Amino acid sequence: MLEADQLTKRFGDRVALHPLQLKVEPGEIFALLGPNGAGKTTTINLFLGFLAPDGGDARVCGTSVKSDPVGARRKVAYIPELVALYPRFSGLENLDYFSRLGGRARPADELLALLERAGLPRDAATRRVATYSKGMRQKVGIALALATGAKALLLDEPTSGLDPAASHEFSRMLRRLAADGVAILMATHDLFRAREDASRIGILVAGRLVAQYSRAELRDQDLERLYLERLSA
């Protein structure tokens, strides 16, 4: 579970994140929408402990990020906009390294199976990453989330720049992870993907969570209209 309890961040005089109250339950995908500079990445950084909050706290599966940032990171997987990998290593070697450092060393055949489950063919998994497309990199990121067995997942613009097919495949994997009970918080600009994948959507404007909608609430609504209305409000 991911939980923000009055989580606040200031940069000098500017409030980047007003007290945020948020709970992402296991099996839930929460899409955080908002324009550039709204505070989406700041929220992710606060959950990862890369930023110290000025107020409140973030918790990952019950572990306070403020008091035990390393312990909290051990319970969460993180997929950035572009999964960064070591170009002179294969996807398999990258996965082995990252999962080992994440405290979940696994044998090679298990890792290969995870990469295949994430949609990366076996022959690609053993090829050097320097030749990978962005979609293939994101698949290694998904495989890493699977390898670490994290019960919470943070995503920062994960489908940005992916072609529709790769984006669709990525969404499929996300939904599968959620079905396995993973709590997912995804910062994104992609309204289409948010609507397709998220169980709840929040709109962040100037550091404030100004609206939240459940999938049911959005059923007959035009998300783009709602989003633009909230921005101009």
* Site residues for other proteins per CB under 8 A: 45, 48, 50-51, 70-71, 73-74, 76-78, 80, 82-86, 88-89, 97-98, 100-103, 148, 154
Q: What is the DSSP string of 154-207?
A: EEESTTTT--HHHHHHHHHHHHHHHHTT-EEEEEES-HHHHHHH-SEEEEEETT
Nearest to 158, CA basis, from 126, 198, 130: 198
Radius of gyration from C-alpha coordinates of the chain: 17
Q: Which is nearer to other proteins, 88 or 122 (CB)?
A: 88
CB 51, min distance to other proteins, A: 5
CB 17, min distance to other proteins, A: 12
CB 53, min distance to other proteins, A: 12
Q: Which is nearer to other proteins, 64 or 199 (CB)?
A: 64
> Do the Cβ atoms of 147 and 114 come closer than 8 Å?
yes
CB 170, min distance to other proteins, A: 17
> Do the Cβ atoms of 141 and 147 come closer than 8 Å?
no
Q: Which is nearer to other proteins, 87 or 181 (CB)?
A: 87
CB 79, min distance to other proteins, A: 9
Q: Which is nearer to other proteins, 85 or 114 (CB)?
A: 85
Give SS3 for 30. Answer: strand
Nearest to 111, CA basis, from 144, 133, 84: 144
Q: Which is nearer to other proteins, 95 or 201 (CB)?
A: 95
